[in-house]
Amino acid sequence: MLLAVSEWCTPSPSRPYVQLAVNDPCFAAKCETPEYCNMSTTAGENWSPLAERRLFKQLLDHKPAGVSKRFQMTCLTVQMNHIYDDDDSDIEELLSKDDAQVAQQHRSERPVGEESSHWSAKAYAPVYSLRPQPREIWRKLNELYDMDSVEMNEYIPDEFELQSDFFLPDGDFSELLRLKEEEIHNKNTISRQHTPQPPPPPRTSV
């Protein structure tokens, strides 16, 4: 069973890859929902035990379900393709020997207090060969979980499902709405005045 989301994937200066992915509309467009994906297993998707453990850990923070599922899938894809040395979890097993040494050295140089805001995390390629995109992650999740049931159990505010016309609130926009209505009325009046009238019907003699 998937756990609830504990925090948002918030872009920050120390996470440039997250910032890039969240701001990239082309990347976000790839985060299709499960109903638009082919759920069959694709040859070449080598989900090693290490890649699966990485996925399970990231699901604790980024649950791709509910109203924010596409946003969370964007974050999940970024985290599966990059390992950051400011991650709270043990990342040594996810990195090559050389990258692990670099990450350890970079972590030791991280200042404390207010100066830590000037420190930027470094991103590394994971040691597992898989570089999953949203479609591959959706397939894996549907293999492991009943995502339709997960989606049904998600809380969705009533206003997200209510279909209604949009109207500006009267309080802040009442004067603007009044001016707009007058403008439309004046345009309609002028239009009627300039519309050529049809000629009267011919008079017939008795």
The pLDDT tens digits for 39-94 are 444 444 689 999 999 999 999 999 999 888 999 999 999 999 999 988 877 788 99
How confident is the model at residue 84, as a pLDDT?
A: 92
Do residues 131 and 81 make contact, with C-beta atoms less than 8 angstroms apart?
yes
11 alpha carbon, distance to own chain's centre: 12
Q: b/e string for 103-115 if b means 16 or more Cβ within 10 A? A: beebeeeeeeeee
**How does pLDDT run across 121-172, given as a tens digit for each residue?**
899 999 999 999 999 999 999 999 999 999 988 887 777 777 777 777 777 7
The pLDDT of residue 204 is above 90: no
Whole-angstrom distance, CA of residue 28 vs CA of residue 40: 22
Cα 117 to Cα 12, 76, 121, 124, 186: the distances in Å are 10, 24, 10, 20, 57
The pLDDT of residue 99 is above 50: yes
- Does the reported pTM lie above 0.85? no
**How does pLDDT run across 8-48, given as a tens digit for each residue?**
344 444 444 444 444 444 444 455 555 444 444 444 468 99
Q: What is the mean pLDDT of residues 175-194?
A: 84
Whole-angstrom distance, CA of residue 122 vs CA of residue 17: 10
Whole-angstrom distance, CA of residue 106 vs CA of residue 150: 39
